[in-house]
A and B are shown apart, each in its own frame.
Chain A
Amino acid sequence: MPISSFYGLQTSLRGLLAQQRLLDTTGHNIANASTQGYSRQEAALVASPALEIPSGGIAGGAGAHLGSGVDVQAFRRIRDQFIDLQYRGQNTNLGDWNARSAGLQQAETALAEPGENGINQQLSEFWDAWADLANANGSDDVVAAKQAVVEKGAALADAFKTVRDQIGTVKATSYAQYADLARPASAGDAGGEVAQIAKDIAGLNDTIKRFITTGDVPNDLLDRRDQLLDQLSEYGQISVDGQSDGTINVSFVDTATAGTTYPVVTGAASVWAGPPAGDAWSPGGRLGALLELSKPGGTLDGYLTSLDTVATNLVTSVNAALGSTFFDAGAGPAAATFDVAAGVLANPQSIDPGSGASGSRDLALAVSRLRDSAPVDGAYRAFVAQVGSNTREATRQEANAQVLTDAVENRRQSVSGVSLDEEMSNLVRFQRSYQASARAMSTLDEMLDVLINRTGKVGL
């Protein structure tokens, strides 16, 4: 069977076109070297279907396949789905400790310990004032000492109030952040971060599905969807369920109750309906940490309770030692509402520092001896130590989670990231291949030139 003289031209052309696609892909990779979430792509080449030469076409009488060049089979993105899973797991952890340490550090700052402005110092000055009253000689001294006791008492109550308010604010802010992140979309409201990510994933699902069903693989759309999943994984533990039509179903997974899930995206629809009633869930991640910090009975609530206990102990023990009402516990959380009793505040001279005559100071002495007592100073120190170790733990865990997340991200970049050196060497390689294909075409052209223009011209 004769083979066309132009057969080789076609083969070279295929080569030229394929090298062009390779160069295009390299250009795309270089252009996206800094794009977040981009995974490098490669053009998969395959030898094009060979020309079949029937039996007897070659010497020896057998048939044969004559190579016809190259074709681009697919444009693939290089990505390891398992590393994605690991990354999201670590990212959930990082989001958790990150939110936790931020909240705890704020609570810790509110304490202003150790230092000259914390409750510890105010307590110390308060006990000093009582001891001075116990020492006071003469009516002028006593008048001044009683005034000082009332002022220090009021300052101490203020210090408790300020610290409690600040921790309360951290708690309220944490809950507000949580509620804002998890807010579902409603009419006229795009919803919180989770709802917006859910909407974007659902939109991408819809587009991707249309390409996948026609056999097309929209690499860059898949990258964007994976990146959205990465973002979502910071907020809570997610499970991703891939469907045959290319869409994915995404849901939050309860970290406390196995098997309980909260759907975020199903196919092309965003189905995020917000947290369950009463926030009765443990999603992990940033949402879980913020909820854990701010919920009733949560970490910050525990701090407030501890502070209230110290305040109650202070009120009780001072009043008991004095045998009359100096502090009024107030109605509500003790640390926020206790204060020097109104009668004493209005008339500091009504304080009776002793049970006997004008010079007896046994009651004032008894109050001053409460200094460094276990229920007040001791309990407060234990509280500060607890806040300190919780914060330290959270900060250390955050650093750990950061290191682990970075390590996984490094592995992912190692697989999917664009290496400019590699792209440069590919560029050289593909350019040479292109040049060689062009040279092959020129050679065929010269051959045909000889055949067409010179053959048969004899003796001219």
Chain B
Amino acid sequence: MSNRITTSMVQRNVLADLNAVSAKLTKSQTKASSGKEIARPSDDPFGTTQAMSLRQTLAANRQYQRNVQDGQGWTDETESALSDITANIGRARDLIVQGGNDATDQTSRNAIATELGQIIEAIKQATSQSYRGSYVFSGTATSTRPYEQGADDSYHGDDGGLDPAIPGIVRELGPGVTLTLNSVGKDILGEGQSAGDDKVLDVLRDAIDHLQAGDGASLRGTDLTRLDANVDHVLEVRAANGAKASRLEAASSRLQQTEEATIGQLSTVEDADMAKTLIDLNSQTAAYQAALRAGANIVQSSLMDFLR
């Protein structure tokens, strides 16, 4: 320290100290009022990038949750349609068993055939299930009804989701994690007699023919066996859909947990530690007042006060 302390030095030092304390005080006040540790990147460049990264993670997480919700809607609609189809196939099976019984006369067989025709329409109607305007059984051709009512049994959708080469209806559940949601109508119902694919429509149309022809043996034999195979297949599809639903459910709860964790991390990086900030604020206020008082005392007195 210098030997000679001049008046202007004292004033300059007091002023510089006051400025320094006041700058700290302002910073603490900003922290306390905004609740943010980082107001601008230079406050903590590394923390800033971390916070930005976490914000992006959080936004992505919320998006994934929206994806999952949407997927859950889709699988719910699929499940309700499949349960409808299962019920209809069960009713059809009962009718075929009844029609296959040789005690049933031709008039009754004709009546049963008419009812089977109605069941086919009901099954086709069930595949027209849509989720928010998208047909869930049409592959990726979601704006096309998969089956038309009437005699035309051909499938109008595409193979998206069935054929691995064509992506189906896909939702992203996490970074790089995707789930194909849709079940393809063609896989369940087939394309009728012209295709001869042993699927539901083919079997039921055959059964109608056999009923009308009074061919009880075929009804009791092959028709029933082929229909049972289809019942199994529909159950498989339902099970697969159920597995997708539970995977979505699991993803949803995992994403919620991750969201909370990310919010916590973001808060750690970005938010001010209130207890510490308030303690800082109080001690700095005290320091500021002390500096003011000391400065006022030093600057006031001089030799002039003591000379006559």
B66 to chain A, nearest CB (A): 7
**A138-B133, A358-B144 as given contacts; A417 in contact with B8, CB under 8 Å:** yes
- Among listed B41-49, B85-93, B214-222, B272-280, interface-contacting one: B41-49
CB distance from B38 to the nearest CB of A (A): 6
Q: How far is the CA of A140 from the CA of B130 in the complex (A)?
A: 14
B139 at the interface (CB under 8 A from A): yes
A111–B67 CA distance with the chains assembled, in angstroms: 31
Contact with A along B178-192 (1 / 0, CB 8 A): 100000000000000
Assuming the A-B contacts A410-B2, A420-B302, are A357 and B158 also in contact, with contact meaning beta carbons closer than 8 angstroms in the complex? yes
CB of A44 closer than 8 Å to a CB of B:
no
| Cβ of A361 under 8 Å from chain B | yes
How far apart are the CA atoms of A177 and B48 in the complex, in Å?
A: 31
Question: Which A residues lie within 8 Å of B138 (CB)?
Answer: 359
Which of the residues A141, A389, A409, A428 comes within 8 Å of B307, measured between beta carbons?
A: A428
Chain A interface residue count, Cβ-Cβ cutoff 8 angstroms: 66
Whether B70 and A411, one on each chain, are in contact in the complex, defined by CB atoms closer than 8 angstroms, is no
Interface centre among B2, B8, B16, B67 (most CB of A within 10 A): B8
Do A132 and B60 form a contact, CB below 8 Å, given A33-B8, A114-B51, A414-B5?
no
B274 to chain A: closest CB distance in Å? 19
CB pair B60–A127 under 8 Å, yes or no, is yes
User: Closest chain A residue to B270 by CB distance?
Assistant: A114
Residues of chain B with a CB closer than 8 A to A109's CB: 40
Contact A420/B130 with A108-B42, A139-B143, A391-B42 known, Cβ cut-off 8 Å: no
CB of A68 within 8 A of chain B? no
- Name A380-404 residues within 8 Å CB distance of B: 381-382, 384-389, 391-392, 395
- Which residues between 147 and 170 of chain B lie within 8 Å of chain A, taking CB atoms? 157-158, 160, 166-167, 169-170
> For the complex, is B55 an interface residue (Cβ under 8 Å from A)?
yes
Shortest A220–chain B CB gap in Å is: 17
Within 8 A of B (CB), among A102-117: 104-105, 108-109, 111, 113-114
Q: Which B293-308 residues have a C-beta within 8 angstroms of A?
A: 302-304, 307
Assembled-state Cα–Cα distance A416/B39 (Å): 43
Q: Mark B184-202, 1 if CB is under 8 A from A, else 0.
A: 0000000000000000000
Q: How far is the CA of A196 from the CA of B72 in the complex (A)?
A: 76
**Chain B positions within 8 Å of A140 at CB level:** 133
State whether A359 touches B134 (Cβ < 8 A).
yes
Q: Give the docked Cα–Cα distance between A76 and B36 (Å).
A: 57
Q: How far is the CB of A226 from chain B (nearest CB, A)?
A: 16
In the complex, the answer to whether B140 meets A414 with C-beta atoms within 8 Å is no
A101 CB to closest chain B CB, in angstroms? Answer: 9
Question: Across the interface, do B134 and A418 meet the contact criterion of CB distance under 8 Å?
Answer: no
Q: A391, B41: Cβ atoms under 8 Å? A: yes
Are A356 and B160 in contact, CB atoms less than 8 angstroms apart?
yes
Q: Which of the 9-residue segments A8-16, A234-242, A246-254, A368-376 touches chain B?
A: A368-376
A125 to B56, CA, bound (A): 10
Contact A138 B158, beta carbon cutoff 8 Å: no
User: Is B53 in contact with A381, judged by CB distance below 8 angstroms?
Assistant: yes
Main secondary structure of the interface of A (DSSP, over half): helix
Residue of A nearest to B171 (CB): A135
A114–B167 touching, CB < 8 Å: no
Q: B41, A114: Cβ atoms under 8 Å?
A: yes
Contacts of A385 in B (CB 8 A): 41, 45-46, 48-49
Nearest Cβ in chain A — how far from B55, in angstroms? 6
* Given A120-B55, A138-B130, A359 contacting B169 (CB threshold 8 A): yes
Query: What is the chain B residue whose CB lies nearest that of A120?
Result: B52
CB-based A-B contact count at 8 angstroms: 201
| A137 CB within 8 Å of chain B | yes
B57 located at the interface, meaning its Cβ lies under 8 Å from any Cβ of chain A in the complex: yes
A127 with B63: CB separation less than 8 A: yes
Partner of A414 from B2, B53, B142 at Cβ < 8 Å: B2
Does the CB pair B41–A410 fall under 8 Å? no
Whether A455 is near chain B, meaning CB under 8 Å from some CB there, is no
User: Which of A135, A365, A428 has a CB less than 8 Å from the CB of B70?
Assistant: A135
B-side contacts of A356, CB under 8 Å: 140, 158, 160, 166-167
- The yes or no answer to A352 lying at the interface (CB within 8 A) is no
A418 and B172 within 8 A (CB): no
Give bound CA distance, A240 to B32, whole Å. 50
Known pairs A34-B8, A131-B172, A413-B9; A108 contacts B141 (CB<8 A):
no
Of the listed residues B42, B133, B307, the one surrounded by the most CB atoms of chain A closer than 10 A to its CB is B42
Is B282 an interface residue when CB atoms closer than 8 A count as contact?
Answer: no
> B3 touching A357 by the CB < 8 A rule?
no
Cα-based distance from A154 to B163 in the complex (angstroms): 37
The answer to whether the Cβ of A421 comes within 8 Å of any Cβ in the partner chain is yes
Report whether B172 and A360 are in contact in the complex, using a CB–CB cutoff of 8 Å. Answer: no
Q: In the complex the two chains form, what is the Cα distance from A381 to B49 in whole Å?
A: 6
- Give the residue of B4, B44, B157, B172 whose beta carbon is less than 8 angstroms from that of A415: B4
Interface residues in A338-367 (C-beta closer than 8 Å to B): 354, 356-362, 365
Within 8 A of A (CB), among B71-87: 74
* Binary CB contact string for chain A from 407 to 443 against chain B (1 if under 8 A, 0 otherwise): 0011101110111111011001000000000000000
Q: How far does the alpha carbon of A406 sit from the alpha carbon of B52 in the complex, in Å?
A: 38
Closest to A415 in B: B4
B residues 240-288 near A (Cβ < 8 Å) are 270
Contact A113 B41 (CB under 8 A): yes
Q: Which of A109, A139, A385 has the most CB of B within 10 A?
A: A385
- The residue from B16, B60, B303 contacting A421, defined by CB atoms under 8 A apart: B303
14 extra interface residue pairs, beta carbon distance < 8 Å, beyond A131-B66, A389-B42: A105-B42, A113-B48, A120-B52, A124-B56, A128-B63, A137-B74, A356-B160, A359-B141, A384-B45, A387-B42, A388-B48, A414-B3, A417-B6, A421-B302
19 A-B contacts (beta carbon < 8 Å): A108-B40, A111-B41, A124-B55, A131-B172, A356-B140, A356-B160, A358-B144, A359-B138, A359-B169, A360-B167, A369-B176, A372-B56, A385-B45, A388-B42, A388-B45, A392-B43, A406-B12, A417-B8, A420-B302
Which residues in B have some Cβ–Cβ distance to A below 8 Å? 2-9, 12-13, 16, 38, 40-46, 48-49, 51-53, 55-57, 59-60, 63, 66-67, 70, 74, 130-134, 138-144, 157-158, 160, 166-167, 169-172, 175-176, 178, 270, 302-304, 307
